[in-house]
Amino acid sequence: MAEGMGLLVGGRYRLIEPVGQGGMGRVWRSRDEVLDREVAVKEILLPPGVADEQRELLIGRMMREARAAARLNHPGIITVHDVVEHRGAPAIVMEFLSGTSLGVEIQRHGRLPVERAARIGTAMADALAAAHAAGVLHRDLKPDNVLLAGDRPVITDFGIAGMADATVLTLSGMAMGTPRYMAPEQIEGRPVAASDLWSLGATLYAAVEGVPPFDGPTLTAVYAAILTGEPRPAEHAGPLTVVLDVLLVKDPDQRADAEATGRALAQVLSELQAPAPPAPAPPEDTVAVPPAVETTLPSSPSTEPTRPAERADTPGRWSRRTVLFGGLGALAAVAAGTGVTAALWPEPSAGQADTAGRHGTGTQPSSPSPHVVRTATYARTLTGHTEWVTSVAFSPDGKTLATGSGDKTARLWDASTGSPVATLTGHAGIVQSVAFSPDGRTLATGSDAAMLWDVATARSTATLTGQKYSVNGVAFSPDGKTLATAAGEATVRLWNVADAGATATLTGHTSFLESVAFAPDGRTLATTSADGTARLWNASTGAATTTLRGHKGIVFSVAFSPDGRSVATAGDDKTVRLWDVATGRPTATLRGHTEAVKSVMFSPDGLTLASASGDKTVRLWEVSTGRSIVTLKGRFKQYSYSVAFSPDGKVLAATGDEVACMWTLD
């Protein structure tokens, strides 16, 4: 029988059996006798010979750290229920999870498949983002502190991380845990949030390579390697290599943050899950599909059970935040600034309505003769951008096309000829979104910040700053007086277009935002997020009215139907979903794409829906039946990002790779 078995800790936690032992403590499977539930109790082992004064200091610090960890509520972070004192040392009470650590998996298998490592890393980055937002650092992230509970990676030991930093190591004279995953600044006693990202990079490196990036025969040698050396070149990381390079930058100020890292890892995962490309074939110039369902698709939209939308109990909170960074654009900038030669995967784009690109939406100014699109004839390819084209929008009069790109520019084109009209420069990052004002005189672009441009002169008229991370979506209100911007900090900000002043910030999503759209009447705002939801808001008060749940993974795009009664959303789960705005209930799930759907848009008459996907295709759907009626291949070799109908509904534009493609519709 193990020593301590059967003891009652803290007056309520009965120790049943030991399930783990490490340099910093022993973990017991235990029973909470008050709530009658299984828990894990971690006894902290203080260094031997610690003076009473130092012991009190360490215990006090540990109790504070554990209480801070108890405030965290995230599926990727183990839940801390309680912290008590036991035998003169802290004991942390946590949820009990069955599984093995990532460290054990590496020991068993040598190295993990890159796809599995990317999936684990994506979850870890999301968990770190939540912890950092709450002001909690881990400071001892390593494979042994990542529990693989089925398909759920869970970071453990937030509550005892303070024991592992350089200050405590110096005080105790004892190496607690391993230093191989510590950031340079942490070894020097200066841990910051970016230190956890270094440790994440080192952990993922070990996962795909089987060994940590730095090692040595002695503790001093390991420290020296981390402080002055370069990591061993990764041989098995594949597309993860560039992310690892950015995370293992020695200057913490030049390291990517958790949200940007999560985006990059999610995109790497999407790339790895993509099917092998078929043998190249020239795209069809004309596609005509009879009004029948493709054999690989259901004959009607799926009506799978989905939880009803949740009505918000309280209005969305209004707040103001500052600070900068730039999502994946920042990762690319960091890579360039540190000599890393790599092309980070572009951020997935999302949809728009006729006056908004990628993530925006707007009113439908024209009233074309209603009919479901049956044929699409390839018209032209627009070339000129030097990086992926993320977004596209038609001007309200249909004469001008706007595109945004990873080359940090937006471009204006003659929509009838495809000729370039102007190149808009001034952004420091990827131009994620473009949107025309309802009068067509102003263009909004989203990147490191949002900018407003005079369309006639192609000159910038205002820069809207104040949101963290990149601006992923922009949308004008139907009256043109307000601009909504969706940012990586999980907020939507509303701006007065006349003076470029911020009027309000809407919060409620729990992860970065992807898109934003106004309803045609301007009363409702819709947003989508990496938290797996879309939300509807009262545009006047900022109150969150409805949460739309059903997608699995990131929701990239949202668009209102022209009558404002429906919204369409597109997600990482390869589906397009339709929702009733009045009730918030799902009405259909459209299946057929084989990769994440990045963008959706209704035709001006509302009878046809267009979607763009990472499977390199654009699909047209009959809204009334949910049938896929046309599949367009374009000139896309890697992705199709964004899609837009012309105001008269006769032309479709889509972007992918470094080009925009146009079709005439009938």
Say which residue the tokens 């009919």 belong to: 371
- Around 372, how many Cα atoms within 13 Å sit in the side-chain half-sphere? 19
The whole-angstrom separation of Cα 63 and Cα 278 is 57
42 is in an annotated binding site: yes
For 513-526, b/e burial (b = at least 16 CB within 10 A) is bbbbbbbbebebbb
Burial (CB < 10 A; 0-12, 13-18, 19+), residue 512, is: buried
Q: Which two tokens stand for residue 178?
A: 């391993």
Count the Cβ atoms, other than its own, within 10 Å of residue 529: 24
Q: Are 578 and 567 within 8 A, CB to CB?
A: yes
Extract long-range pairs of 421-427: CB within 8 Å, 24+ residues apart. Answer: 421/458, 422/458, 423/384, 423/458, 424/453, 424/458, 424/460, 426/451, 426/460, 426/463, 427/451
Strands 400-405 and 389-394: antiparallel
Say which residue the tokens 């938290």 belong to: 531
The whole-angstrom separation of Cα 348 and Cα 217 is 44
Compute the chain's Rg from CA coordinates.
26
Q: Are 90 and 44 within 8 A, CB to CB?
A: yes
Q: Which amino acid is at 586?
A: P
Cα-based distances in Å from 616 to 198, 327, 596, 642: 34, 24, 10, 11
The whole-angstrom separation of Cα 206 and Cα 212 is 5
Q: Are 44 and 91 within 8 A, CB to CB?
A: yes
Among candidate residues 543, 479, 462, 555, the one with its CA nearest the CA of residue 510: 555
Count the Cβ atoms, other than its own, within 10 Å of residue 433: 36
Q: Which residues are catalytic?
A: 140
The whole-angstrom separation of Cα 74 and Cα 495 is 32
SS3 at position 148:
strand
- Written as one string, the DSSP assignment of 314-342 is SPPEE--------HHHHHHHHHHHTT---
- Classify 76 in phi/psi space as left (phi over 0), alpha (psi -120 to 50) or beta: alpha
Q: Are 468 and 324 within 8 A, CB to CB?
A: yes
The whole-angstrom separation of Cα 610 and Cα 591 is 13
Q: Are 632 and 654 within 8 A, CB to CB?
A: yes
CA trace torsion 79, 82, 87, 89 (10° rounding): 70
Per the annotation, where are the binding residues? Answer: 42
Per the annotation, where are the binding residues for ATP? Answer: 42
